[in-house]
Structure formats: C-alpha cells, structure tokens
C-alpha cells in the first residue's frame, strides 16, 4: 500500500500573564526536581509546597503528559483534554470537573508571577499516570516504567512505539465519539521519523468518522493531536506521519470502483481490504502540521496547514 501523509497538530495554548490576574501566593519554593518518563521538566516557576500540597506550573507538565488545553478568559477556566478525558479547573476554586463529574482538590489553582500552579498529584493521577517520590525527585510515568527504562530515551524502535500505543490508547476520541483502533508503526525514510497507521476494523466506524469530518474538518486534528504530542515528548521524534486507514477481511474483492482500495491476499484465502481515508503530518522542527483527506484515487487533498508553536512557555 502506498504511504499517505497523515497528520495531526497539537494545539498548545500558551498560558501567560496576559491571561491571568496576578494573585498573592504565600508558599515556600521547593528544590524538588520533577521528571516525566525520565525526562526532567523545565519550569519557569519553581514548584512550591502550599499547606502540604506540591504545586507545579501547569504548562510544562501538560506538555510532557501530552495534554492539550485552552483558556476561558471570561470564566477564568482551564479546559484540558487528553483523548476522551476532559478536565475543567477554575482559578481560585477547589472544585474541578473530570469528564463532567465534580471533584474537590486539596488546593485551588493559583497564579504565581503570571504562571499558573496546580496540585501535581491530582493532574498526574487524573491522566492515568503513576507518581512516586525519591528524595527531592518526583517521578511521573505516563506508561509502564519498564518501557521507560528499556529505552532510556535513546533506543527507539517501531515495535516499541507500536506496543506502547496499542496498550495505552486502544481507543481514539474525535471529540464526539470513541472508536476502537489498533496501531501499526514503521520507520519512515526520513531520519528520526515514523509512520503510524491508526487502523479501523469496522466499516460503520469509518462511515461515521467520514460523516463527522465532512461537517467539521478539525476532527482529524482532534483525533490525533494528543497522540502526536505524547509520542514526541516520550520518544523524541522530529516528524510523525499518521494514517487513518480502514482494514477489514473480505471473502473477495468488492464490486466498487475505488482505485485507492488495496487488496492483500491472506493465507486463509480471504482478502485484507485496505483503504486509506485521512492523513496528518507533524513537523516538530518547523512547528507545522498539515491535515489531508485521501481521494478515491489515493491522492492527498490538503484540508489545512497550521503553524502553531509546539513549545509551551
């Protein structure tokens, strides 16, 4: 099958003092180091301990955990999303909403010198990460520790990324619906780049996805952005190519005139139907991303390109 350019852009909104009212913070700065999957998090504002709760600058932690977010200036709210999990936090309030359900946290989000600080443990545990403390170092793992230490952030293979995705993200969320998928990863011809197929097995799921994208072209971005940011942060790739593909077993080729369909003969005598639908490309060097649909002849049609910066201050 031809490789079709797939992408996703992770939209990271920079939270700076222009968004926030400065609040008076009375807490002791901490000398603690925070690591996510063995990578040290660089903060503009040092972690603090307030009434026994470790508070950290939100932007770098969200970036490392592959979380995208927006800021509601009117409500003074952070709306954070990762896959099908949505977290809503309000400046100065201990009430936080996770997937629409209210919960109370130990300390409310605060502003320190224009940077927003939130309870570290709540954020890590809400996103499914594990957390531990050794001396002055806090370790957060967004995946199994065995995978983190087996790579050391250096040796990365398609199999490693594939195993991580299939174990961690068996479903993708497009903003409206959740779809069961699997992943197939291969090395791209470009240095330090990978091709990642997001494989749908049910034709009804693809039909629903296509319908949604026709009414909202940003669905492809919504479906892939958290994946792209998470993989880049964890495995440090320069470029990621995503392919949204339908693959299903059929007894014989279908009687339809769609040149883009590829049939692969299987050992049991049936055929594997392969139909690429959409693509997205993330370039972490130039801070750009492009989103495409694949026409019936297998050609890419550009939907839009973004040049939003990946780096969160």
CATH number for the domain spanning 69: value is 3.30.457.10
> How distant is the alpha carbon of residue 260 from its chain centre?
29
Q: Point out the domain boundary residue: 122, 141, 160.
A: 141
Q: Point out the domain boundary residue: 141, 172, 193.
A: 141
Say how far apart CA 160 and CA 63 lie, in whole Å: 21
38 and 162 housed in the same domain: no
Alpha carbon dihedral 136, 142, 143, 146, in 10-degree steps, equals -20
Question: What letters, b where the CB count within 10 A reaches 16 and e where it falls short, cover 79-95?
Answer: bbbbbeebbbbbbeeee
Residue 26 pLDDT: 43
Q: For residues 144-155, give the mean pLDDT.
A: 48
Say how far apart CA 259 and CA 254 lie, in whole Å: 11
Residue 35 backbone dihedrals phi, psi, to 5 degrees? -125, 140
Q: For residues 87-116, give the mean pLDDT.
A: 88
Q: Point out the domain boundary residue: 123, 141, 159.
A: 141
Q: Are 305 and 281 in contact (CB under 8 A)?
A: no
Predicted confidence (pLDDT) at residue 11 exceeds the cutoff of 50: no
Q: Which segments within 146-226 are labelled E, that is strand?
A: 171-173, 178-180, 182-187, 193-200
Predicted confidence (pLDDT) at residue 19 exceeds the cutoff of 80: no
Predicted confidence (pLDDT) at residue 170 exceeds the cutoff of 70: yes
49 and 116 housed in the same domain: yes
Return the top range by mean pLDDT from 41-45, 118-122, 243-247.
243-247
Q: Domain of 193?
A: 145-306
Give 80's pLDDT tier (boundaries 50, 70, 90).
Answer: confident
Q: For residues 25-42, give the mean pLDDT.
A: 70
Query: Domain count of the chain?
Result: 2
176 and 32 housed in the same domain: no
**Residue predicted with more confidence, 140 or 290:** 290
Predicted confidence (pLDDT) at residue 160 exceeds the cutoff of 80: yes
Sign of CA dihedral 186, 36, 308, 96: positive
Q: Is 231 part of a structural domain of the chain?
A: yes
């Amino acid at each position: 099958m031809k490789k079709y350019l797939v992408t996703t852009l992770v939209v990271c909104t920079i939270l700076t003092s222009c968004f926030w009212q400065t609040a008076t913070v009375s807490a002791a700065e901490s000398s603690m180091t925070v690591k996510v999957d063995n990578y040290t998090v660089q903060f503009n504002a040092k972690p603090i301990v307030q009434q026994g709760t470790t508070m950290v600058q939100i932007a770098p932690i969200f970036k490392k955990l592959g979380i995208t977010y927006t800021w509601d200036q009117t409500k003074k709210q952070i709306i954070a999303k990762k896959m099908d999990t949505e977290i809503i936090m309000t400046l100065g309030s201990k009430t936080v909403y996770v997937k629409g359900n209210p919960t109370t946290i130990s300390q409310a989000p605060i502003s320190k010198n224009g940077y927003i600080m939130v309870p570290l443990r709540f954020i890590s545990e809400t996103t499914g990460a594990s957390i531990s403390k050794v001396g002055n170092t806090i370790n957060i793992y967004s995946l199994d520790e065995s995978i983190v230490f087996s790579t050391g952030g250096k040796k990365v293979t398609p199999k490693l990324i594939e195993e991580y995705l299939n174990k961690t993200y068996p479903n993708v969320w497009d903003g409206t619906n959740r779809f069961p998928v699997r992943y197939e990863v291969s090395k791209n011809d470009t240095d330090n780049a990978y091709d990642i197929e997001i494989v749908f097995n049910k034709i009804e799921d693809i039909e629903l996805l296509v319908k949604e994208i026709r009414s909202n072209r940003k669905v492809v971005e919504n479906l892939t952005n958290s994946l792209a940011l998470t993989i880049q942060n964890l495995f440090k790739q320069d470029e990621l190519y995503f392919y949204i593909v339908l693959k299903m077993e059929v007894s014989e080729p279908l009687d339809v005139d769609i040149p883009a369909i590829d049939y692969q003969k299987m050992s049991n005598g049936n055929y594997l139907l392969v139909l690429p639908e959409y693509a997205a490309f993330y370039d972490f060097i130039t801070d750009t991303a492009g989103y495409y649909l694949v026409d019936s002849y297998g050609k890419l049609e550009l939907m839009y390109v973004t040049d939003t910066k990946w780096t969160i201050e």
